[in-house]
Amino acid sequence: MSTMSDLKKIEVNTFQMIFLSDGLLDIYLGLTLIPYITWIYSDWAWSGILNGVVFVLFFPLFLYLKKRIVAPRVGMIKPGPARRRKMNLLVLATILAVLVTIAMIVFTGRAGGAASRMVAGIPMVFWAFSLAAVLITSIVAWLIDWPRLIVYGLLVAITIPVDAVYFLKSGRIPLTVIPMLVMVGTGIYMLVRFLRRYPLPQMGEMA
């Protein structure tokens, strides 16, 4: 049993080193969620389309950087059966998260008074988005062994109800953008650390 536990720990550590320790996923997620947040708070009809365009265009760049930065330094691995099952569940969870978010936005637009019902002085819909942020990020964090995603989710959950008071009164940039900037900043820090920790091997070392 101890051997199996050790093997699982090694697999998780290896996966995190190759796929999560470089910070690229943090940067990608933060940059793609910024237009998503502005879409939710914006009356501009094209903002949702812009969000989708940014998400699609950034993904090939994310994969390219993975190939150019990570692979030459630490190599790549082929996920085992258990990891592939988790990744399949991740795809389903992502699709479900998108559908739930769209459904909540539609509900907000049609529910009228029900969505704006006040709970602790804040419209109920903001609490619903906060709860969704915690649940979705916790599930994804568990599926891909990415603990700091839970922290990002909690930051989003905190800023959403604050925006109910701050943004709706001031009309300024929503504070929910701050967790996205934290993601990008964290990713940049981790990328710099990764590049220093794993420099490109010299030709003599590769021979």
Instruction: Pick the closest to residue 87 from 15, 186, 159 (CA basis).
Output: 15
pLDDT reported for residue 168: 61
d(CA 147, CA 43): 34
Weakest-pLDDT range from 9-23, 57-71, 149-163: 9-23
Flag whether pLDDT at 206 surpasses 60.
Answer: no
The predicted structure's pLDDT at residue 163: 78
Flag whether pLDDT at 135 surpasses 70: yes
Residues 40, 42: Cα–Cα separation, whole Å? 6
Amino acid, single-letter form, for residue 49: I
Helix (H, G, I), strand (E, B) or coil at 147: coil
* Residue 148 domain boundaries: 2-206
Q: In sequence order, what are the residues at sequence separation of 6 or more whose Cβ sits closer than 8 angstroms to the Cβ of residue 5?
A: none
Taking every pair of Cα atoms in the chain, the longest distance, rounded to a whole number of angstroms, is 70
Say if CB 164 and CB 123 are below 8 A apart.
yes
For 173, phi then psi, to 5°, come to -60, 130
pLDDT tier, 49 (very low <50, low <70, confident <90, very high otherwise): low
Q: Does residue 159 surpass a pLDDT of 80?
A: yes
**For the chain, what is the domain count?**
1
Looking at per-residue pLDDT, the higher value among 50 and 2 belongs to 50
Identify the band that residue 41 occupies on the pLDDT scale cut at 50, 70 and 90: low
In which band, very low, low, confident or very high, does the pLDDT at 119 lie, cut at 50, 70 and 90? low
pLDDT band of 207, cuts 50, 70, 90: very low
Say whether pLDDT at 111 is over 60: no
Residue type, 100: V
Q: Average of pLDDT values for 88-106?
A: 68
